[in-house]
Chains A and B, each alone.
Chain A
């Protein structure tokens, strides 16, 4: 069986009729007991399982997914990877993720198609330019690459933008992170799954958590649709459904679940070779390697677990996009969808032990979870293996809400929620 992916193995399999490929990951029956359980087969959960095995040598691990892996938000985002955040704590966590993304294809022996094509965040007024200058200063002090762009710079990087004098959203400039970019979202899930499975992790799909096993005030495992599974440490990375699991475990979280929509156009020839974000209109645009324009927008303003989204926000996103890029007016849209994101009051993640000892949290990424997958996995794996915080995750503990030490990236970085 061919296990390693390379140009040579592709050539050999081509000669052998492609019959020797091993399945990318095993699908074993769940065992009654593991050293650790990870709930959630999205990017964060799969990365957690992989780093438990790789960084800590903990390979007797079950990854439990109620549907299929990568079928939630990991398969529903706009694939943007960046680390241009305002606060040092955020720069540390997103910077860790960004640095791991750069070498992820090699680490996993799976091409995640990370493309550092640069990210432009637009400023549409003089006041927004002043805020942009402040952000660039803070981001540079944090050690992250970032430049202030003038309108001439914007014209050079995005020539298709609407620079006409009567534009509804004129470009005054913006902030530019040259090392930001995109990665193939499904490949991130599949690559982590394959690498984790090869290190011994049991990936168990169609396995929904119905309850937690709680003994003497500690989480000792989970009851699932495929039987009870015990472990001394359990981690959960379930994004928009964090509150649902928290209720089963007997506590509440500072999370509101909202739908975040995205859509793609028909594929066209290369026209946009970077990622452009407009915080004022809430519109994200990039072009996939297949040629589709990938368009993301702001949150729906209605708490929701329905993975489809409402019309008013989609209308606003499309209207804003057409005003900024009139050339897209002839494009046909192919698909629209939504993912359920876990929005926290300070727009920063929650990582740490939950109020139920033995159960550890990785949630609260809101609209920005994809870019953080390698860091979320590294940090939750550290908690599960050692029982304590990594220095980078300590500020993101749930206790910050009672202590009042919020990391308010909504205000700091002008995130749309």
Chain B
């Protein structure tokens, strides 16, 4: 069982977490968004092989956060509370 670092609870078992998507995939704003742009937001993914930054939720505390991870060797390099980059502020 791998341990993931929740920024609020510390290291916890991976089965307590749920994947929420790639970080930085911001919802399009405004009235005249094209179908392609919506499809890009809803469906298209970078799906990188190697280092990746993702949104996760720790199901036991209910908090969303960002985690940096390697998709090949599964090593976690860190996690942080969501910042402006993920909120699109």
Chain A interfacial positions (CB closer than 8 Å to B)? 241, 243-244, 247, 252-257, 301-306, 310-312, 345, 401-404
B74 touches A345 (CB 8 A): no
Closest CB in chain B relative to A129 CB, distance in Å: 30
B40 touches A252 (CB 8 A): yes
Residue of A nearest to B39 (CB): A402
Q: State in angstroms the CA–CA spacing of A252 and B45 once bound together.
A: 6
B44 touches A252 (CB 8 A): yes
Partner among B2, B40, B50, B52 whose Cβ is within 8 Å of the Cβ of A310: B2
Specify which chain A residues have a CB less than 8 angstroms from the CB of B38 in the assembled complex: 402
Specify which chain B residues have a CB less than 8 angstroms from the CB of A302 in the assembled complex: 14, 19, 74
13 inter-chain pairs at a CB distance below 8 angstroms, sorted by A residue, are A241-B49, A243-B46, A243-B47, A247-B48, A252-B44, A253-B45, A257-B71, A301-B19, A303-B19, A305-B49, A310-B2, A310-B14, A401-B44
Q: State in angstroms the CA–CA spacing of A241 and B72 once bound together.
A: 12
A401 touches B71 (CB 8 A): no
Specify which chain A residues have a CB less than 8 angstroms from the CB of B14 in the assembled complex: 302, 310, 312
Specify which chain A residues have a CB less than 8 angstroms from the CB of B40 in the assembled complex: 252
Residue of A nearest to B54 (CB): A303
B52 touches A303 (CB 8 A): yes
Q: Does B27 contact A (CB under 8 A)?
A: no
A403 touches B35 (CB 8 A): yes
Q: State in angstroms the CA–CA spacing of A311 and B3 once bound together.
A: 12
Q: State in angstroms the CA–CA spacing of A243 and B1 once bound together.
A: 28
Partner among A244, A306, A310, A401 whose Cβ is within 8 Å of the Cβ of B43: A401
A306 touches B47 (CB 8 A): no
A401 touches B45 (CB 8 A): no
Do A303 and B47 form a contact, CB below 8 Å, given A310-B2, A310-B14, A311-B1? Answer: yes
Chain B interfacial positions (CB closer than 8 Å to A)? 1-2, 13-15, 18-19, 35-36, 38-40, 42-50, 52, 54, 71-74
Specify which chain B residues have a CB less than 8 angstroms from the CB of A256 in the assembled complex: 45, 47
A255 touches B47 (CB 8 A): yes
A303 touches B49 (CB 8 A): no
Closest CB in chain A relative to B71 CB, distance in Å: 5
Q: State in angstroms the CA–CA spacing of A160 and B59 once bound together.
A: 37
Specify which chain B residues have a CB less than 8 angstroms from the CB of A404 in the assembled complex: 35
Q: Which 4 residue pairs are nearest across A and B when measured between Cβ atoms?
A: A243-B47, A254-B43, A402-B39, A252-B44
Specify which chain A residues have a CB less than 8 angstroms from the CB of B18 in the assembled complex: 301
Specify which chain B residues have a CB less than 8 angstroms from the CB of A255 in the assembled complex: 45, 47
Q: State in angstroms the CA–CA spacing of A257 and B47 once bound together.
A: 7
Specify which chain A residues have a CB less than 8 angstroms from the CB of B15 in the assembled complex: 312
Residue of B nearest to A307 (CB): B72
Q: State in angstroms the CA–CA spacing of A403 and B39 once bound together.
A: 8
Interface centre among A257, A303, A312, A403 (most CB of B within 10 A): A303
Specify which chain A residues have a CB less than 8 angstroms from the CB of B71 in the assembled complex: 257, 303-306
Closest CB in chain B relative to A315 CB, distance in Å: 9
Closest CB in chain B relative to A397 CB, distance in Å: 13
Closest CB in chain A relative to B67 CB, distance in Å: 11
Q: State in angstroms the CA–CA spacing of A303 and B22 once bound together.
A: 10
A243 touches B45 (CB 8 A): yes
Residue of A nearest to B56 (CB): A302
Q: State in angstroms the CA–CA spacing of A257 and B48 once bound together.
A: 9
A254 touches B45 (CB 8 A): yes
Closest CB in chain A relative to B13 CB, distance in Å: 8
Q: State in angstroms the CA–CA spacing of A301 and B2 once bound together.
A: 13
Beyond known contacts A247-B46, A303-B52: 17 more, CB 8 A cutoff? A247-B48, A252-B44, A252-B47, A253-B45, A254-B39, A254-B44, A256-B45, A301-B19, A303-B47, A303-B54, A305-B49, A306-B73, A310-B14, A401-B39, A401-B43, A402-B35, A402-B36
Q: State in angstroms the CA–CA spacing of A256 and B71 once bound together.
A: 11
Residue of A nearest to B40 (CB): A252
Q: State in angstroms the CA–CA spacing of A403 and B35 once bound together.
A: 7
Q: State in angstroms the CA–CA spacing of A253 and B50 once bound together.
A: 17
Q: State in angstroms the CA–CA spacing of A257 and B54 once bound together.
A: 14
Closest CB in chain B relative to A390 CB, distance in Å: 24
Specify which chain A residues have a CB less than 8 angstroms from the CB of B46 in the assembled complex: 243, 247, 252
Q: State in angstroms the CA–CA spacing of A302 and B15 once bound together.
A: 10
Specify which chain A residues have a CB less than 8 angstroms from the CB of B42 in the assembled complex: 345, 401
Q: State in angstroms the CA–CA spacing of A253 and B45 once bound together.
A: 6
